[in-house]
Amino acid sequence: MNKGTMELFCVRLMRNQHRCLPAYLTRSFQTSHCRQRQSTTRRTLPSTELYSTNTCRILRQPETTDSVCQLQLRPSSSQRQLFSSENVRTVLFPVGTPRPDPAVHCLPVIWLPKHGQNFFHTSAPHRALPAPLIWLVLKPLQKIVAIILGRSIRKWWWALPPNKQQLVRQKVWRRRWQLVAGGMVAMVIMASFFLTHLDESPITGRTRLLVFSRENYMELATVTGDGYMEEFAELMVPEKDPRHQVVERVVEHLAQRNKDIPEVSSVPWRVHLVDSPTINAFVLPNGKVFMFTGMLEAVADVHQLTFILGHEMAHAVMGHSAEQASMSHVVDFLSLILLTAIWAVCPRDSLAVLGQWIQTKLIQFLFDRPYSRKLEAEADQVGLQLAAKACADVRAGPVFWQQMEISDQLRGEPTVPEWLSTHPSHRNRVAQLDRLVPQYLELRERCSCPALPATDPRAVFAQSVKVLLDATRDLEGEAGKSLKPQALSQTPTSDHRRAPHPGGLATALLASSATGSPPALTLDTATHL
């Protein structure tokens, strides 16, 4: 230890105490020698005293007891005049605490100042970056390190003469069992890591791997939310806008009806409506709801809006972002070993680049995208449950995805195979929701919700599509050519895709809520777009 430095050690505890209080010394302190207390009256001490002799007389014990810490000082040459020896042992006492027991060996002491006389200085706390954000930054660097390592191994191997290469092979063969044992130990460590990071998903109870905690992603969501607020600052719809009020009421009603779920009741939900034709909506883990006006125009009624918001809230409630990042983190870590091997084994860089591209695509199609589709399907299920408890018509959920399928066909968008997509196909989503509808209709009844109309919206939509196709065939037969988009937009049965007057759905929903109940429950109609 260099001269002039001080090191604090905890030597013992006083009675009924289990911890030693930390202390920090300033460079300026007062010194005095320990003296024998002759009277029984209590002497008033200065705010800070340092008794610096190695041997001192016995001190009498005061009334109260706190804690004691040992301090070891190694003074510099300029400070040696204050001490009688090179290594001084002192004991630290907070003011208002008792002196040590007379039987205890008397050591030099420091009396801390009373409350309000604190002369210590501490640095301002620094907030650490969220762990997921650090991982996102280091993720590309890990691949670069793996590539450099694999390429270095390849260059080193080819630089060896043939006889040394043969010696290396023989050495590896002689130690093959040690290498096998090392691999088994690594597998045991990885298995232990997986087992200690298993978590039970809320609501569904599914066992999953969770490396990043919910708290980590709450911190990341705060940073991400601030970024989105800056990005959409000029597109934000005012809170007094009817469209914003409708979305806000539906979110509040969903949260109120599902407050028995801790992950729902513990989050402060806040709505942000973005004026953009993009058909999208998402919810951050900290409860910030971002919805685009294009999504409001895509839904046909408030029941579909409730289902969509329930789907997005389910992602946040289930912690899907943390779960997906955890799985991606583990897969990426394992892929680094394979990436290093590719660059070490391939004889040329061009072949290594090709092998890396193949590896990336295999990981995408075998792990990332199937897992993403799994989480989307789970969000559909949980979103339907949240909507059912909010007394929405759960039969409107499958209809929404049928509308989206028809909309994509009318816009001429190419159909992507499901195995290439991060989301299930519209048709598979409809099939899954149709299987779940009876179950959540029963849940809706148990939640004391008002009765639904006898007309099933799925049957109404199927009939509308049939009429639309019949009208299209008639027009094709009469004109002898394909139906133009202008003619299609004038077909009476295509009202479900016609763009409404701005705020039309929102105004209708708010007008229907005169009784004070949420619009998702009081509106008994389907406002076609």
Both tokens of residue 316?
Answer: 């946040």
Decide: 68 and 13 in contact? Cβ < 8 Å: yes
Cα separation, 254 vs 260, in Å, equals 11
312 is catalytic: yes
d(CA 224, CA 106): 58
| Burial class of 196 by CB neighbour count within 10 A (0 to 12, 13 to 18, 19+) | exposed
How far is 417 from 126, CA to CA, in rounded Å? 48
Task: Supply the DSSP symbol for 30.
Answer: -
Distances, alpha carbon 513 to alpha carbons 244, 256, 507, 521, in Å: 15, 17, 10, 9
Looking at the DSSP bridge assignments, the partners of residue 94 are: 112
Whose tokens are 């009256």? That residue is: 41
Question: In angstroms, rounded to a whole number, what is the distance separating the alpha carbons of residues 269 and 328?
Answer: 28
| DSSP-derived pairing of the beta strands 69-73 and 49-51 | unpaired
Q: Measuring CA to CA, which residue among 307, 312, 313, 272 is closest to residue 293?
A: 272
CA 210 to each of CA 39, 142, 223, 321, 398: distance values in angstroms, whole numbers, following the listed order: 66, 21, 21, 10, 31
What is d(CA 169, CA 179) in angstroms, rounded to the nearest whole number?
13
Token pair 């394909």 is found at 482
Closest CA to 10 of 21, 25, 24, 2: 21
φ, ψ for residue 408 (rounded to 5)? -65, -40
Amino acid letter, 361: K
Tokens of 260: 């028995």
CA-to-CA separations, 264 to 255, 291, 320, in angstroms, rounded: 6, 19, 14
> Which helix (DSSP H) or strand (DSSP E) does residue 270 occupy?
strand 270-274
Annotated catalytic residue, options 219, 248, 312, 323: 312
Rounded Cα gap, residues 306 and 520, in angstroms: 7
Tokens at 90, concatenated: 């002192």
Residue pair 130/220 in contact (Cβ under 8 Å)? The answer is: yes
Amino acid at 153: I
User: Which residues, in sequence order, are CB contacts of 314 under 8 Å at separation 6+?
Assistant: 378, 379, 382, 383, 386
Contact 309, 193 (CB under 8 A): no
Phi/psi at 222 (5° precision): -65, -45
Q: Which residue has the tokens 């709505």?
A: 271
Report the catalytic residues.
312
